[in-house]
Amino acid sequence: MLLGKSVAKVKQINLKYKHRKIIGNFSLSGSKSVSNRLLVIRALAESKVQFGNLSTSADSQLLKSYLKLITVCASSAIPMVIDAKNAGTVFRFLAAYLAINEGVWLLTGNKRMKERPIEGLTLALDNLGVEITYAGKNNFAPLRIVGSDIDGGSVEVDPSASSQFVSALMLIAPYLEKGLQIQMKKKPVSFSYILMTQKLMQEFGAKVQVQKNKVVVESGEYQMKTYQIEPDWSSTSYFYEMAALSENADIFLSGFSSDSVQGDRVAVEVFEQLGVITSFENNGIRLKSGAHSTSSFSYDFSSCPDLVPAVLASCAGKGIHAVLKGVGHLKYKESDRIASMQAELFKTGTILKRKANSVELIPSEIDLSKSHCVFDTCGDHRIAMSLAPLVLKLASVKINNPEVVKKSYPLFWDDMERLGIKKEEIELTTDN
């Protein structure tokens, strides 16, 4: 080893697929988005009620642990440092939650979190009288928050970068003396998540009205009860992708129904265009391949952005020309997701042409079945999980840093193996 150089160990997973029927039955963890909202609701109500099928995702478990710790440390005069890592929901929900909890808090995150937008929420909290300041670069994490009682009233929010700014304020609004009226200055992205927040708040007794550009929440308290969390529709997109790329798939996912608060339930209609038929059965959904696929795909993903990586990979694998609209705000996710998919799919010969709020996919002209690809995850769980099913079309696939899937789907690689994808975990040593 040369002096002055350090050695880093990088994990990689090697995937191989022997052509056979893609078949399996799966029970997925509870929705991460639903779980995170319910954890905040429970903490605000100072309740210990238990939720069934709480998400096992690293994000939800992180939020759960911090909410418990905050309760213990709230009476301390010593500033508490909270590291949300790269969990946008955790960071934004806690920013609002800490604002009404007495104490001095330093809310931070990892390098990528410090690049993600927060200004829309911090401006709103500041206008509501919260003592909140940037502890580093203006308009980005970390934040110093002095929690106290705030009156509420009315406030303007710019939700064009993230709907979580609105959801974070909605969740705390019943505990403000005057309630809260939120005026959205611009069209919100991911509006379906604002509606999810509304429905869950109403489920626990809050009075909430959501209009096109305004949200009104009355002052009050949450009325807690036991609740069974529905499984995660976002996670179904990788099973849909497997079915889309397979000539013979029969996958059953238990616990899903058409009556869902999750916007990603539109996966049913999205992937129908890509040849996957969904059957709603008594206790779940069944995905089958073999239906006719469109030759040219187009869809607006403004309210279901988490489906984008799997759809892009599906179109690349099937050789379908595609235009995906409403994707501009994906640059603010765990990675710049369009840039990440652009770089990784280029390894298959697929071209992504990016515009301000859309992306065009031009299929590869090379023989994918003879291609061996090593994909980077870009530190993003959804990039990793969307690229893995391409092993059904490629000669082999290697994924760097596969552990990122723990953020939302810890059992992903095990479940892929149950579908017949052979995996070999490798530890590489590199010089820094």
- Cα–Cα distances (Å) from 143 to 19, 80, 340, in that order, read 51, 12, 28
Q: Which of 264, 306, 336, 415 is catalytic?
A: 306
**Backbone φ/ψ region at 53: left (φ over 0), alpha (ψ -120 to 50), beta:** left
Number of C-beta neighbours around residue 139 at 10 A: 11
Q: Which two tokens stand for residue 244?
A: 């889309």
Q: What does the alpha-carbon distance between residue 149 and residue 174 come to, in Å, rounded to a whole number? A: 12
Distance in angstroms (rounded) separating the CA atoms of residues 385 and 264: 16
Give Cα separations from 33 to 209, 234, 268, 352, 366 (angstroms). 20, 9, 19, 29, 39
d(CA 274, CA 101): 48
Count of C-beta atoms within a 10 Å radius of residue 50 = 9
Which DSSP string do the residues of 66-105 spell out, in sequence order?
HHHHHHHHTT-SSPEEEE-TT-HHHHHHHHHHHHTSSEEE
Query: Collapsing DSSP states into helix, strand and coil, what is residue 222?
Result: coil
Distance CA 368, CA 43 (A): 50
Cis? peptide before 389, omega within 30° of 0: no
Catalytic (active site) residue 151:
no
Our separate counts of H helices and E strands in the chain read 12, 22
Question: H/E/C letters for each residue in 99-153?
Answer: HCCCEEEEEECCCCHHHCCCHHHHHHHHHCCCEEEECCCCCCCCEEEEECCCCCE
- Kindly tell me the sign of the dihedral angle through the C-alpha atoms of 115, 305, 422, 246: negative
Helix 233-245 to helix 308-318 angle, to the nearest 10 degrees?
0
Tell the burial category of 177 from Cβ atoms under 10 Å away from its Cβ (0-12, 13-18, 19+): exposed
What one-character DSSP code corresponds to residue 231?
B
CB 335 within 8 A of CB 308: no
Q: Which residue numbers are catalytic?
A: 306
